[in-house]
Structure 1
Amino acid sequence: MDSAGLPDRIAAGIQVLITGDYPGSSSLNEGHYYVDRSNKFWALLYDSGLTSEALAWTDDEDLPRLGISLTDLNKSDELGSGHTRLEALVRRFRPQCVAFNGRGVAEDYVRQAGTRRRVEMGLQDWGIAGNEVFVLPSSSSLNTHPRLLGRDGLLLGRPGWWARLAMHLGRRSDGQGE
């Protein structure tokens, strides 16, 4: 893999652009997103209702056909200016929502953009290039928070926040994320 990191998995007509941080070495070596088996990303996509089929890291190139795209805020060649590239992607592809996979990634975006926006779990009161922003608990196995408080006062576990995004996007209507 080159020093720029993983290629974006993005296409026209996407509903959500899930934005992670810089990929781990396993992902870089394999050339796919969320390769590490301990990362819960692929299980969360399916269990939350964001996808109707169980997928694996080898399927990351197929996500755009399901209306889901992937990128990382920080590519190794950007030196803290990933926000500019992310904003350009959002302007070009116009997803309904940008979902940060982890509060830390959203906070890094805010820092890079030079704003003082408050970052909490769930739908934010600010957007990127006119598009909604939703902050998810990180899918990383290092995330051990049992429950997190959201901007709207909800206290949910990691699966609940991912289900909440699916409900917000109209991909789930059963209220299981509440």
Structure 2
Amino acid sequence: MDIAGLPDRIAAGIQLLISGDKPKPGGLSLGKCYYYADGSNNFWALLYDSGLSSEALTWQDDKELSRLGIGLTDLNKSDELGSGHIRLEALVREFRPQCMAFNGKGVAKDYVRQAGTHERVELGLQDWRIADTEVFVLPSSSGLNTHPLLLGRDELLLDKPAWWAQLAMHLGRRSRAGVAET
């Protein structure tokens, strides 16, 4: 099946799989065939500043992320008509990442709606899983997401970069003191 949209950037041995929603039709990411190629999206800075990536990368390096144990996909490809959760679950089963992260609360809610599970979605580590893999919901890296503080699970109130750092700490990629671990 030919899935329209960006190709998945996943390889064996990934620790983290990050799923966005889908690139905007006619947007820079689709046009350039790279994830998060829109200059207003903070994905690449958040990835590095949080400690999730040990290297400062740009959208032109999206194929390099799997080397760092991170995979990229989108929940919805343009030909899936609301059934992207099936493909996403299959990817999680196949590649067995330690954690599945949604880049945005909206995409996580869309996954729950598509899967028909009615799980509660808040920022942070969820109390539900996908194919036995833990789930973490990040605030969207979009430049349009400008909320200074965001409320998450257990009433935790953090800014966008701190939520991304929470995921890095959870995965052992960043220490509590804020120093990225090697």
Q: Which residue of 2 aligns with 1:13?
A: 13
Q: What are the within-5 Å matches in structure 2 for residues 1-178 of structure 1?
A: 4-24=4-24, 25-176=27-178
Deviation at 1:149, TM superposition (A): 1.2
On the 8 A contact 1:160/1:176 being kept in 2, the answer is: no
Deviation, 1:175, is 4.0
TM-superposed deviation, 1:152: 2.4
Residue identity matched to 2:41: N
The residue type paired with residue 101 of structure 1 is N
**Structure 1 residues without counterparts, runs of 5 or longer:** none
Q: How far is the alpha carbon of 1:115 from its aligned partner?
A: 1.2
Q: TM-score, normalised by structure 2?
A: 0.94
Matched residue SS, 2:146:
coil
Give the count of matched residue pairs.
176
Q: What SS does the aligned partner of 2:155 have?
A: coil
Shift in Å, 1:3: 6.3
Cα RMSD of the aligned pairs, angstroms, is: 1.3
SS at match of 2:17: strand
Give the % identical residues. 76
Q: Which moved more, 1:60-69 or 1:139-148?
A: 139-148
How much has 1:132 moved relative to structure 2? 0.3
Kindly provide the CA deviation profile for residues 121-173 of structure 1, in whole angstroms up to 9, marking residues without a partner as x.
00000000000000000000111111111112210000000000000000000
Deviates more, 1:144-153 or 1:120-129: 144-153
- Are the aligned partners of 1:12 and 1:93 in contact in 2 as well (CA < 8 Å)? yes
For residue 41 of structure 2, give the secondary structure of its aligned residue in structure 1. coil
How far 1:174 sits from its partner (Å)? Answer: 3.0
Q: Equivalents in 1 of 2:67, 2:113: separation in Å?
A: 32
Report how far residue 72 of structure 1 moved. 0.2
